Amino acid sequence: MKSVGKEQDITRMKELVSILNKASRVYYQGQDEMMSNYEYDKLYDELCALEDRTGITMSASPTVHVGYETISELPKERHIAPMLSLGKTKEVSELESWIGGERGLLSLKLDGLSVILTYENGRLAKALTRGNGETGEVITNNAKTFVNIPGKISFDGTLVIRGEALIRYSDFREFNTRLADVSERYKNPRNLCSGSVRQLNNEITAVRRVRFYVYHVIQTVPEQSFSGKKDELDWLAEMGFDIVPYKEVTKDNIAEQVAAFAEEVVTCDLPSDGLVVTFNDIAYSASLGRTAKYPKDSIAFKWRDELADTTLREIEWSASRTGLINPVAIFDPVELEGTTVSRASVHNVSILKELKLGIGDTISVYKANMIIPQIYENKTKKNNCGIPSQCPVCRGDTELVQENGSIVLMCRNPECEAKKIKSLSHFVSRDAMNIDGLSDATLEKLINMQILHSVLDLFTLDRHREELVEMEGFGERSYENLVRSVEAARDVPAANVLYSLGIRGIGLSTARLIIKKFPWKLSEFKDLKRDDLTGIDGIGEVLAGSFVDFFADSKNDELVRGLQDILRIQYPVTEKEQKLEGKTFVITGSLEHFANRNECKKRIEELGGRVAGSVSSKTDYLVNNDTMSMSAKNKKAKELEIPILTEEELMALLEQ
């Protein structure tokens, strides 16, 4: 008969297996992480300890299986050898003990996507993702666009190498700034890289500037003989590959070199979540073999997040336009990763209760991914933080609601000022109605003056000229500019209007997908069912439910009918009018009749055409006002006998 203690251990093990496997699925599929590396490692270590204590290992435990099948339409292929993960430690003393009397290489543990490249006769022949360790996805066309891999190497045989595909921090920041919709921006370079590497269209991969850093030779035919791992990496570098940054180490200097990397990683442009130590002697490494999950010749060192203890002083409740009221922990200021922090989001009521937070508690805080302040641990657990029964903004009643497995606090007052201001702010934003001159402060003034009650009132601001001109911080010029911007906003694409409504979870890209599938009047969307929406690639049950619930509300129906009457909504061309379908264009040079290339591209795409970045055999037309130019694109088009259109000729084609 099992003891109560052991039964509790097994129950906890099952819980940990479920949590960790779910977190791993999300991580390896490139979605937003459920938890930080720090939190994952803490739970993983707890599971290992329980397995050691009980002598039991669950069949689905992440300690015995490797990775997950990815969700993708890409073809799959088996690896020539298992692609294993690494054992890990957070203690430098364990690294010293592990390396013993051997020499080793200490390298950055790059935080991207593990990729295996195969070169045949000097050229890239195949690329696979790590996948589940046994089988990976074929991403050869995408890998050919990696910005730093050699297209041809001097080795004429077969070369199979493993490395990390990643997007540098600098490229990541630049890409994110081009996404006007903040909700569509990526949280970290790894998420962006994962989605980029596994694209079905390699043009998307190319513009995202994915790079590849090699750290291991899997196979060479004919076999190349190397005595040390350093020799192997130097050989790869000589052929033009970027290799993972590394330092040579022994037991005597490994602590010093770990510290050196810790300083360098702060300003390093390569995303990294730790270090890897591997034995330099290849023959010795091969003699060690492997476990079911790990090779025995390498070990990972995970960075310890910088923790600081402080005192919780307050829980601040922050209201949003969707009605969510989120708890924010306010604590005595502490220094973390070189900056002073004094607040951290607690995310929802479930986490607040799980941490048993109370005013005056001693809490440990850290920066997830060295950026986002989080609470790691509550050491005193006073558990005296009440849940407000009234909204902090409107004093309306609140309600606890189950949402995606968590308990959240909602304001049920539809007239809540926070909802109004933030909904109006969203409505006038650039990717929505693009109405200039209405900051949150100005919107708040207009609400207080009883001028704005809903977004419909924005289109009658000209009736309040005298009040607006005399409003503090405004004036005649501001009024004229605002009225002009409001009038211009009446001509708006349907997707932007749909996005402007602030339907929970519906970003601009999703709005475009819906409008493309259903180019209907706004008032007709109430007839859509969840199944209609989940049939669109990229829309799941949650988003579909959010959309249907919005249009089922009678007040929202009244709003969309009002907007329908006020706006001159532009709908995409119907399928029957897709006269450029199947045609690929390349645009180069300066334009005179279009504001910019994006406007020209949009017009082509509206008629079913596609715009590529470079001329190839698949190109149907090159657009260039200078048809006699000796540019590379013109030369290529002439070689392939591809028509070169002037802007006028393109416009004639569009208007046929």
Active site members: 109
Before 388, cis peptide (omega within 30)? no
- Indicate the residue type of 473: G
Measured CA distances, 258 to 92, 163, 250, 265, 285 (Å): 8, 21, 11, 10, 22
Instruction: Please choose, from the candidates 277, 317, 313, the residue with its C-alpha nearest in 3D space to the C-alpha of residue 298.
Output: 277
Measured CA distances, 181 to 166, 178, 284, 506, 510 (Å): 23, 9, 53, 11, 12
Surface-to-core class of residue 83, CB atoms within 10 Å of its CB (0-12 exposed, 13-18 middle, 19+ buried): buried
CA–CA separation, 206 and 194 (whole Å): 13
Q: How far apart are the first and last CA of the chain?
A: 83
Token couple for 343: 């607040």
Surface-to-core class of residue 623, CB atoms within 10 Å of its CB (0-12 exposed, 13-18 middle, 19+ buried): buried
Helix (H) or strand (E) holding 5: helix 4-28
DSSP 77-143: EE-SS------EES-HHHHHHHHTTS-EEEEEEE-SEEEEEEEETTEEEEEEE-TTSSEEEB-HHHH
- Indicate the residue type of 112: G
Q: What is the DSSP letter of 332?
A: E
Token couple for 626: 């200078």
Pairing of strands 621-623, 406-411: unpaired
What string of H, E and C letters represents the secondary structure of 403-463?
ECCEEEEEECCCCCHHHHHHHHHHHHCCCCCCCCCCCHHHHHHHHHCCCCCCHHHHHHHHH
Q: What is the DSSP letter of 228?
A: B
Measured CA distances, 179 to 183, 339, 434, 493 (Å): 9, 27, 15, 18
